[in-house]
Structure formats: structure tokens, C-alpha cells
Amino acid sequence: MTITEDKVREELKRVIDPELFVNIVDLGLIYVVDIQPRDDGKQNVNIEMTLTSPMCPAGPQLVANSRQVIEELEGVGDIDIKVVMEPPWGPDKMTEDARDQLGIF
């Protein structure tokens, strides 16, 4: 099974921010999804994500849950999740669905 960026992002929608109750993809926390093939037929998944604030108490939980849902994909090799703070997250990164859920217009 080929792993695609779209498939990884769909799986990451299962990760819900425990404070905002919105998935991390719609919140705009996922910046980069990079998939690299390996010689053994598996694919490494590299993710750059951010948090809503540098001191977000849910940060470790969001990273762990992200790793967990990606590990469930068939054909995944190594997973590297890097938390970045540049560019800084802001409400402008959210999807319309997330804004509607949070009542931001």
C-alpha cells in the first residue's frame, strides 16, 4: 500500500486537541508531511507540526497520538515528528470547519 500525504492527513484528523475539541489538521497544526520510500518497501513519514502556543500543555499528548495513528498505516517505516514554532500558529491557519466549530467568524 502506498502512503500518501492525503492519507496521512486523513489519519491525523483522528487526533483531537483535548482543549479545543477540534482535530489537529483542521486547526492548522500540521505544516509538513513528507513521505520517503525505503529499500524494504516501507515508507518513512516525516511530519513538521506546531502547537497553538509554545507552552501548550497538550503538546506531548498531540505528538504521541499523531505517532500512534500513523503507526497504524500499512507500510509505515520510521516516523519522525518535529514540533516547530516557525511560522507561529494563528487562527488564520484553521480551516473553515474548525472556525465554525469554535465560533470564530
Give tens-digit pLDDT for 21-48. 999 999 999 999 999 999 999 999 999 9
The yes/no answer on whether domain 5-92 falls in CATH 3.40.50.10310 is no
Mean pLDDT over residues 47-52, rounded?
Answer: 96
pLDDT category of residue 104 using cuts at 50, 70 and 90: confident
Report the alpha-carbon distance of residue 45 to residue 103 in Å, rounded. 33
Mean pLDDT over residues 47-67, rounded?
Answer: 95
Sheet holding 30-37, edge to edge: 30-37, 43-49, 76-83
Report the alpha-carbon distance of residue 72 to residue 76 in Å, rounded. 8
User: What is the per-residue pLDDT for 2?
Assistant: 87
Q: What is the pLDDT of residues 71-95, one digit of tens each?
A: 999 999 999 999 999 999 999 999 9
Report the alpha-carbon distance of residue 3 to residue 72 in Å, rounded. 11
Q: Is pLDDT at 49 greater than 80 in this prediction?
A: yes
Residue ranges per structural domain of the chain:
5-92
